[in-house]
Amino acid sequence: MSTALPNLLGFGRPELAAFCAQLGEKPARPFRAKQLLHWIHQAGIDDFAAMSDISKALRERLVSEAVIRAPSVVRDTTAADGTRKWLLDVGTGNAIESVFIPEPNRGTLCISSQAGCALECSFCATGRQGFNRNLGVAEIIGQLWWANKCLGSYQGDYVGERKVSNVVMMGMGEPLANFDNVVAAMRLMLDDDAYGLSRRRVTLSTSGLVPALDRLREACPVALAVSLHAPNDALRNELVPINKKYPIRELLAACVRYVEKAPRDFVMFEYVLLDGVNDSLAQARELVETVKPVPCKINLIPFNPFAGSGYERSKPDAVRRFQEVLLKAGLIATTRKTRGDDIDAACGQLAGQVADKTRRAQRRGARLAAEGATAALELAP
């Protein structure tokens, strides 16, 4: 039986109130949960003894009964463009990555939800690593907590200048495959006594787990981004294998349902452009027809290479022509500026360290070796 103390970093308002009640606090004192939320998430305090407006008796109980513990930083790297990447140790041989992207009018933190990913999108470095486990609430929200701490947002017992104004669940893993923990973490992000972000400033990116998308619509509708990457099922089956289970028509129908309760009146479709794979003018025209049922914007993403990917980035002229087709059809289509690629912090490059339970990398290595041997035999005189 585990004797680990509960980590209050991952507790939302209801859980904190219940925990305080277990310690003898009267249930009619909901302000205790508010105080703890403030100290942990707004002030960045991980020492109960420093929580000056909480009674000494309760502080002493908290010291012996709980912890506030975020994943520890293994490596902190800053790119030439100011993008900052943290490698965070989450134990059991796994480390995850979080990325902060500073811009003149906002600061966006890209957060991971899993150690690895089981969906194996063919152009994603995380998917190539395999999968180990879902991250807990404290490990997810801990990335935001650490970012605020490292960026100097915490000043004394209050939040100073808020450096992280936006959060995107676009890091390692498929967020909707870790539904309960991701929703709990996002509720903390939205809580006014924690991080106080608006639902418009928290974006979840999914590859298309349709039933979970419908659940999210009811539980915690935040801004939505969908990894589309292809205009038809045949190609998307290759690039995003989950499409075989939830094809484009079902996914788009779920997107239409989602918009009814979303904080934005559109869905952002993400489309990574791969040279000679999904970037032709015919495919652009097909994409226009495919997304017609959904109020949407298209975010075109130049592919960010990684070792052994097998893909190349679309040429700038191909990106421009593809975008022009979408714009002429009346769609809003933007091209994402590549940030942090010199430290492998750009979209699709996050890898971290994954103790792969799927043995995916091992199987892929064996398959490639076998294919290489076969090719060598065919070329032999």
Same domain, 181 and 33: no
Tokens 């395999």 correspond to 130
Same domain, 37 and 139: no
Same domain, 310 and 194: yes
Q: Does residue 134 contact residue 121 with C-beta atoms inside 8 Å?
A: no
Q: Sheet harboring 84-91: ordered strands across?
A: 72-78, 84-91, 94-103, 106-110, 166-169, 202-206, 223-227, 267-273, 296-302, 332-335
Range list of H helices, the chain: 13-22, 31-37, 56-65, 125-129, 137-151, 179-190, 210-219, 233-239, 248-259, 281-290, 316-328, 360-379
The string of pLDDT tens digits covering residues 216-268 is 999 999 999 999 999 999 999 999 999 999 999 999 999 999 999 999 999 99
Confidence (pTM): 0.88
Same domain, 222 and 249: yes
- Work out the burial of residue 64: count CB atoms within 10 Å of its CB; fewer than 13 is exposed, 13-18 middle, 19 or more buried: exposed
Residue 380 lies in a domain: no
378 in catalytic set: no
Q: Does residue 186 contact residue 220 with C-beta atoms inside 8 Å?
A: yes
Cα angle for residues 371, 372, 377 (degrees, 5° grid): 100
Residue 374 lies in a domain: no
Q: What phi and psi, each to the nearest 5 degrees, are found at residue 350?
A: -65, 130
Same domain, 89 and 14: no
Same domain, 152 and 26: no
Same domain, 28 and 122: no
Catalytic member of 20, 25, 97, 139: 97
Same domain, 269 and 347: yes
d(CA 124, CA 305): 9
Same domain, 355 and 206: yes
CATH code for the domain of 357? 3.20.20.70
Whether 162 shows a pLDDT value over 50: the answer reads yes
Cα angle for residues 165, 98, 319 (degrees, 5° grid): 80
Residue 193 lies in a domain: yes
The string of pLDDT tens digits covering residues 274-300 is 999 999 999 999 999 999 999 999 999
More confident residue, 217 or 337: 217
Name the residue range of residue 53's domain: 8-65
Count of domains forming the chain: 2
Residue 166 lies in a domain: yes
Whether 1 shows a pLDDT value over 80: the answer reads no
d(CA 357, CA 337): 34
Residue 196 lies in a domain: yes
The residues pairing with 206 across neighbouring beta strands, listed in sequence order, are: 226
Catalytic member of 20, 220, 296, 347: 347
Same domain, 205 and 353: yes
The string of pLDDT tens digits covering residues 74-105 is 999 898 888 999 999 998 888 999 999 998 88
Same domain, 104 and 24: no
Residue 376 lies in a domain: no
CATH code for the domain of 60? 1.10.150.530
Distances (CA, A) of 76 to 72, 161, 293: 11, 21, 43
Whether 344 shows a pLDDT value over 60: the answer reads no
Same domain, 59 and 143: no
20 in catalytic set: no
How high does pLDDT run on average in the chain? 87
